[in-house]
Amino acid sequence: MNDTGQRSAIVTGGGAGIGAAVVASLLERGYAVTAIDLHFDRKHDDPRFLPVEADARDEGRCRELVSSTPDLRLLVNCAAIRPEAPVLDQTVEGFRAAVDVNLTAAFVLLQAAASAMDAGGSIVNVCSAAAYGKRHLAAYGASKAGLVTLTKVAALELAEHGIRVNAVLPGTTDTPMLQQVRRPSSSGGRSPRNVTQLVLKPAEVASSVVRVAEDPMLSGAVVPVGLLPYEW
């Protein structure tokens, strides 16, 4: 896909929502982008865009994609599933699935990408305010809390290699995943956990992801997008 020395990025969950918005933003900034997802709501008519229909849990396939991507500069871990159930009703199968997609797959890609990157490489993990506790999101929240810790540990260990690792923590964002589970508030409207009290757009979160990814002075940070610290 990229034999011109152009900088490359890999985005998991790049077929819809925040991941798709990140892909679009990176293409605008001149990256060659490999996007991994089960299916794609949007495909760009751009020779620098490579959509790969694959499961982020497929370790062999993901490691192969990393090894075949020249001049890899950026990894964005955005793939996620969001099972919702009271803790007493949450199935072990659903809990394991959330950990596998949201945390283990991110670890595999992080490990593979960091091994392939030169100094100056960047990794951004898309987390969630649910990492700090939210009713009915034990599986999702626990997996995202693990991703926060993975971010901090990887930042410490990869600093000597010149690779930065950060996380972004979006407030309520209008994505297909949220639309599937969102319930109206008592007033009949949405109840976003955002500073503006408005539901964020994926492009707004993607803009923050790119800023964090490209800030050479930032590593080990968990950056809230539209959230105040007390809302975590």
**Predicted confidence (pLDDT) per residue in 20-41, tens digit:** 999 999 999 999 999 999 999 8
CB atoms within 10 A of CB 156: 12
**Predicted confidence (pLDDT) per residue in 51-102, tens digit:** 999 999 999 999 999 999 999 999 999 999 999 999 999 999 999 999 999 9
Tokens of 30: 């001149």
Three-state secondary structure call for residue 129: helix
- Indicate the helix (H) or strand (E) that contains 222: strand 222-225
**Predicted confidence (pLDDT) per residue in 94-129, tens digit:** 999 999 999 999 999 999 999 999 999 999 999 998
Number of domains comprising the chain: 1
* pTM for this entry: 0.89
**Predicted confidence (pLDDT) per residue in 136-184, tens digit:** 999 999 999 999 999 999 999 999 999 999 999 998 878 766 555 554 4
Question: What CATH number is given to the structural domain containing 140?
Answer: 3.40.50.720
Q: Is residue 215 part of a domain?
A: yes
User: What is the rounded CA–CA span in Å between residue 199 and residue 91?
Assistant: 30
Residue 134 has pLDDT above 80, yes or no: yes
Candidates 31, 132, 140, 230; catalytic one: 140
Annotated active-site residue 31? The verdict is no
Q: Is residue 2 part of a domain?
A: no
Quote the domain boundaries for residue 49: 8-231
Q: Is residue 1 part of a domain?
A: no
User: What is the rounded CA–CA span in Å between residue 160 and residue 171?
Assistant: 32
